[in-house]
Amino acid sequence: MKVEIMLPTTPLPCMCASFRRAARALTQLYDDALRPEGLRATQFTILQALSLTGEISQGDLGELLVLDSTTLTRTLRLMRTRGWIAERPGKDRRERWVQLSAAGRRKFKRAWVPWQELQTRLRSRAGSASWNQWLQAATDITRHTALAKPGSRF
């Protein structure tokens, strides 16, 4: 019996499996680039989102990033402990509003350099046309999957 070796470049027939594999590969690269700054890609993403949105409810941040409440709460708790985000209560005890703290803005600014270097290296390897297609595809996939959910408001 001959066993064929599967490589990371072997096409997978499942859209979910293919994109999860690609996401893991990208996450590993970004984690490696951000590690000297003491950040993981997930934390950088939240810092970046908060730099774009300003103050935002935790629920809306979760929707923006398509993150489940438990994962977001755990990550925000760690980031708050490190002083990177400021948080205030909302209208009721379930609602929390978050924004970058001064330390979070400084952390984001320092991490921007290795993040941008990696972005430039990846864009150069892929070519601008492919890079832009990938970004558009990621946005389109997110939009179409959100539309496919029952009760979607998008």
pLDDT digits (tens, 9 = 90+) for 70-80: 999 999 999 99
Q: What is the mean pLDDT of residues 125-151?
A: 88
- Enter the pTM of the model: 0.87
- At 2 the pLDDT is 61
Instruction: Give the Cα separation of 26 and 134 in Å (integer).
Output: 12
Band (pLDDT 50/70/90 cuts) for residue 27 is very high
Band (pLDDT 50/70/90 cuts) for residue 116 is very high
- Number of other CB atoms surrounding residue 119 within 10 Å: 14
Instruction: Give the Cα separation of 117 and 57 in Å (integer).
Output: 31
Band (pLDDT 50/70/90 cuts) for residue 84 is very high
Q: Which residues face 75 on adjacent strands? A: none
Band (pLDDT 50/70/90 cuts) for residue 9 is confident
Average pLDDT, the chain: 92
40 Cβ neighbours under 8 A, 6+ residues apart: 31, 34
- At 94 the pLDDT is 84
Q: What is the mean pLDDT of residues 86-102?
A: 92
- At 3 the pLDDT is 55
Residue pair 36/30 in contact (Cβ under 8 Å)? The answer is no
- At 8 the pLDDT is 77
Residue 145's SS3 state is helix
